[in-house]
Structures are given as structure tokens and as C-alpha cells.
Amino acid sequence: MKALMLGWEFPPHILGGLGTASYGLTKSMSQQGDMEITFVIPKPQGDEDQSFLKITGACCVPVVWKENSWEHVNVRIGKLMHPDEYFWLRNGIKYDYRRIYTNDLGCIDFSGRYPDNLLEEISNYEAVVSVLAHQLSFDIIHSHDWLTYPAGVFAKQISGKPLVVHVHATDFDRSRGQVNPIVYGIEKRGMELADHIITVSDLTRRTVIEKYHQHPDKVTTVHNAVEPLKDVDSFVKTPRKDKVVTFLGRITMQKGPEYFVEAAHRVLQKTQKVRFVMAGSGDMMQAMIDLAAQRNIADRFHFTGFLKGREVHQMLAESDVYVMPSVSEPFGISPLEAMQVGTPSIISKQSGCAEILTHAIKTDYWDIEAMADAIYTIVENPAAYRSLRELGREEVNNIRWYDAGLKVRKIYDRLTGAL
């Protein structure tokens, strides 16, 4: 089974949960033996782990025919793509894309991020994929998130192969209801034209069915999982006088940081032995600093700024409680990461991961009293801490990408008629 996967991020250069999920899923699917995956991302850096799949950079695929010598191509993009492949792909140019600005190789420059001209980048990505769709052979197309839906649809029209779209989030999650009509349009068209839709939680599945009007039979939930941490024992908790309660993530409306501050305020009225940490950055950070000052808890409330890589796990491991009060979270992988390093988690019921976790405390995101109560219990009661820590770790270690990969494979098999 050959799959053409269209994505936007791939580790180690990631901006959000999408890259992590793409990695986990593709890696586990490659263990199925007969899976061959080509993963297209806008701009690879050359240091991605390609041991189990092939990564194709959209920025190396020619969309306009330009004459170049083998040596020149080798010098320009040799570390990302073999020049022979470049020349071979060039034969796949069937449409006139001269309207798009291209470089000396006939390739498009991608930022590989989420720039202001994102819509332009999406349509450029679509052009690149048309070349790949003509030239590569594959049995199924798998599009990750709305940025790649137009490309997926185009690839389906060219090749006639079935299209699976994977919904990691919808615009309803990102905007707290203030949906951008252009984004909604792209999402809706992708779902309409897809042969099957995979959602990361039942919560997202409901949104897809109710807000995007898709037939329930066409929508399947495949919950995300978490990659086992190889060096899990290297993250240790330094004993300290005060307990640490952590919020970690983008400080934006979607993540509900203000509820965390309010809950902290409640807890600090009863006990002074707790410190609160808000890790991450985002457009609401300033407002949160102000709010903490207004509530008069700034001496016990700390901001770390943006954390990355190892720092994230270190911060989680150092915490006594991890809180994710997200207003709307399609899945939310960070509580699973916290539980991996043995940190009890409090998550909002409005997050997808609440569907698969038993040994985490679930509250409504707006219910600051329940949240404060849960924080208080964990920091004050060693039995609760121990139970959540040990049973939680055990639970998370049993949530494997391999099982998620098998579910996706089943969908492939059904669509391609292999089953």
C-alpha cells in the first residue's frame, strides 16, 4: 500500500501538535510492513528522520519548466532531494504555472510556517502536489489538516485515487466560534470531496457532522496517541518546598489561560505553599500578567515564556500538577506528555483527550471552583497525587500510536478495496 501524505509540519521543526501527530502516525504505520509513505511538507530542513518514510519538500518540486544543469541542481537542493528525482519530477508538469513566482529551478519558495499570506501558500502547495500526483504512483491520498485539503482534492481529481482527510482541528476550535468564512469554505470543500474523514476525537467528529454537515458514516474517530519517551527516566523532579502547578501551551483564547489564573487565585486563598507557572507565549500573555497582578497573586504566579524541546518535558516533570483548561481542544496531546513523566493532569471536558483518559481529573473549562478544588486536593493529598501519578503513567503508556495506525490502515483497506 502506497500512501501520498500531505502535511504541513514534521519534527524536529514543529510549531504545534500537528507535526507531532503526523510523526507518530506515520512512524507507527510504517511498522505495518507493507506501507510505503511519501510525506510532502512545504519546506523540510534536511534533518528530518527519513528512516521510515520518504519526505518530499514542496520547495524542491519544479512547477515551471526551467533548463538547469545537473550540477547546478545538486548545489542548490542536493541536500534535500537527489537531482535525478528533480529532473524526473519535472516531467510531471502538465499545467502552466508561470503566473506563480518561481526561482531559478522553477520551484516555489515556501515559508513552511503560518505566514500572513497563508492562503497564497496553500494554493502554491496545491500546484506542487499536482506535479507529484501526475508523476508518483500511490494507492491513497491522506491530507492532514485544512491547509492541505485543496491539494488533496486536486490530487484526487488527477489520479482518481481515494482521498482521506484528517481533521486535527477545525476553525470552530481555533476561533471560539468566530469562524473565518474562507477557512470554513476550504475545510468544507475538502470534507465534501473526501472519501473518508478521520477526526482526532469524538468531539471533533461531532463538529464535523453538525457544523460541516457531513454524513456520520463518512466520519471515523482515530484518537491520537503519544510516542514513548526514550529518556523518560532522565526527567526528574527536584524536591522543593513549594508545590508547582503548571499551565503549558500557547497563551491564547482557545487554551483558556484566564481560568487558570482565576483557579490559582482561589487556591492561594487557602494555602500559600503553591506556586503557579504559566509556560508558553501568545497574544494573551500581557493580559494574563495584568490579571495575575490584579488578583494580587503575582508573587506566586510565574511566567516562563516559550519553551521548546527538552525544556517542555523538564517543566512538566518538575510540576506537581499540570492543568489544561482549554475552551475547545480537538485532542490535546500535552496532558499525555505530562502523564508520561508522572505529573497528574487536570483537563477540561472540552478537550478530545478527555475521551480516552480515566486517570486524569476532568472539569468544565469555566468551572474554576472545580479546577481549584482538584488542584488543592492533588497538592494537599499525597494519596491522590500518587494514584494519579502511577495509574496515569500506566494508562498513558498503553495508548499507542500503533493501534491508531491500524485503525487508519483499516480505512485505507476499505477505500482501496483491499479488504
Contact between 377 and another protein per CB under 8 A: yes
Sole window of 236-244, 248-256, 301-309, 382-390 interacting with another protein (rule: CB under 8 A): 382-390
Q: Tell me, by CB under 8 A, how many residues bind another protein.
A: 21
Contact between 388 and another protein per CB under 8 A: yes
Angstrom distances, CA of residue 357 to CA of 9, 75, 157, 360, 393? 26, 50, 39, 6, 11
Name the 3-class secondary structure at 274.
strand
- Phi, psi at 277, each rounded to 5°: -125, 130
Distance CA 179, CA 5 (A): 27
Distance CA 359, CA 387 (A): 8
Contact between 202 and another protein per CB under 8 A: no
Contact between 373 and another protein per CB under 8 A: yes
Where do the H-state alpha helices sit in 295-347? 310-318, 334-340
User: Smallest distance from the beta carbon of 319 to another protein, in angstroms?
Assistant: 18
Name the amino acid, one letter, at 326.
S
Contact between 398 and another protein per CB under 8 A: no
For 183, residues 6+ apart whose C-beta sits below 8 A from its C-beta are 146, 171
Site for another protein in 125-184 (CB under 8 A): none
Residue in 272, 306, 381, 402 binding another protein, rule: CB under 8 A: 381
Residue in 156, 166, 243, 362 binding another protein, rule: CB under 8 A: 362
Residue in 384, 406, 413, 416 binding another protein, rule: CB under 8 A: 384
Residue in 33, 358, 398, 417 binding another protein, rule: CB under 8 A: 358
Residue given cell 500512501 in the structure block: 3
Per the CB < 8 A criterion, the answer to whether 344 and 321 are in contact is yes
CA terminus-to-terminus distance, the chain: 12
Contact between 213 and another protein per CB under 8 A: no
Q: Which helix (H) or strand (E) holds 6?
A: strand 2-6
User: Smallest distance from the beta carbon of 291 to another protein, in angstroms?
Assistant: 20
Residue given cell 510504517 in the structure block: 30
- Residue with smaller CB distance to another protein, 252 or 319: 319
Binding flags for another protein, 251-270, as an x/- string (CB under 8 A): ---------------x--xx
Sole window of 98-106, 174-182, 239-247, 365-373 interacting with another protein (rule: CB under 8 A): 365-373
Q: How large is the angle between the packed helices 285-294 and 257-270, nearest 10 degrees? A: 20
Contact between 273 and another protein per CB under 8 A: no
Q: What share of the chain is helix, strand, coil (3-state, %, to 5)?
A: 45, 15, 40
User: Smallest distance from the beta carbon of 200 to another protein, in angstroms?
Assistant: 22
Contact between 355 and another protein per CB under 8 A: no
Q: Residues interacting with another protein, by CB under 8 A?
A: 266, 269-270, 358-359, 361-362, 369, 372-374, 376-377, 381-384, 386-388, 391
